[in-house]
Amino acid sequence: DAKTTQPPSMDCAEGRAANLPCNHSTISGNEYVYWYRQIHSQGPQYIIHGLKNNETNEMASLIITEDRKSSTLILPHATLRDTAVYYCIVRGSSGNTPLVFGKGTRLSVIA
Amino acid sequence: DTGVSQNPRHKITKRGQNVTFRCDPISEHNRLYWYRQTLGQGPEFLTYFQNEAQLEKSRLLSDRFSAERPKGSFSTLEIQRTEQGDSAMYLCASSGRGNEKLFFGSGTQLSVL
């Protein structure tokens, strides 16, 4: 079963920042937080992952709370192409366990 | 590098028939995963390979399902005696050393009539 809780849906105005929350209160010390997204009719796409420090790449920023029980994915300037289902996943550091997806958050970016 | 390739993109079959899907991972990726996704749900893990060895199978993978990865390259997923409940998107993913990022294909959409 998925170890994360996400809101089922969110809206965001085009050009504004999209902040997607995720709760993972049972996360273990060696587990990472991963984010993937799935655009309609495509396979999931990796976005970012982190352990406890905030992370940023060309796609997004990941903010993890100090107690690591929750995190927020930030898309700084959402575009219509960011409309997708976003999945927050907790996974062990060894990479020996498969990704376990929940239902994710359906983000709709509105013009 | 053309990414993970899955064939066919769509498959329509009658109940009771056998179907086989193919996945070509990113070259030199040692791990290959199969997932199944139904409408409105996230992908569900089915099985994964490290090179040619099948290391884990989900309890979702009934006896009618079999997956192979000969020589650690492409993989096939076969479903025997298909049922209407097998209708879903079947996704393949691969990962390289470190196994941190999975790269997914576009999937094979199976419809069992």
User: Tell me: the pLDDT tens digits for A76-102?
Assistant: 999 999 999 999 999 886 667 788 999
Contact assignment for A44 to B43 by CB distance below 8 Å: yes
In this model, does residue A1 exceed pLDDT 60? Answer: no
Element (H, E) at B78: strand B75-79
What pLDDT is recorded for position A60?
97
**Is B43 in Cβ contact with A46 (below 8 Å)?**
no
Q: Region A5-32: what's the mean pLDDT?
A: 95
pLDDT of residue B43: 96
User: Both tokens of residue A102?
Assistant: 């929940």
On average, the pLDDT of chain B sits at 94
* Weakest-pLDDT range from A60-74, A85-99, B85-99: A85-99
Cis amide prior to B8 (ω within 30 degrees): yes
What CA–CA distance (Å, rounded) separates A46 from A25?
A: 22
DSSP label at residue A82:
G
For chain B, the residue count is 113
- B23 touching chain A per CB within 8 A: no
Of A50-54, A60-64, A72-76, B20-24, least confident by mean pLDDT is: A50-54
Residue B1 has pLDDT above 70, yes or no: no
- Amino acid A95: pLDDT: 66
Tell me what percent of the residues of chain A surpass a pLDDT of 90.
82
Percent pLDDT > 90 in chain B is 86
Q: What is the pLDDT of residues B62-91, one digit of tens each?
A: 899 999 999 889 999 999 999 999 999 999
Show residues of chain B in contact with A48, CB under 8 Å.
Answer: none
Structure tokens at A43: 């396979």
Token pair of B3 as six digits: 């990414």
Query: Does B74 contact A at CB distance below 8 Å?
Result: no
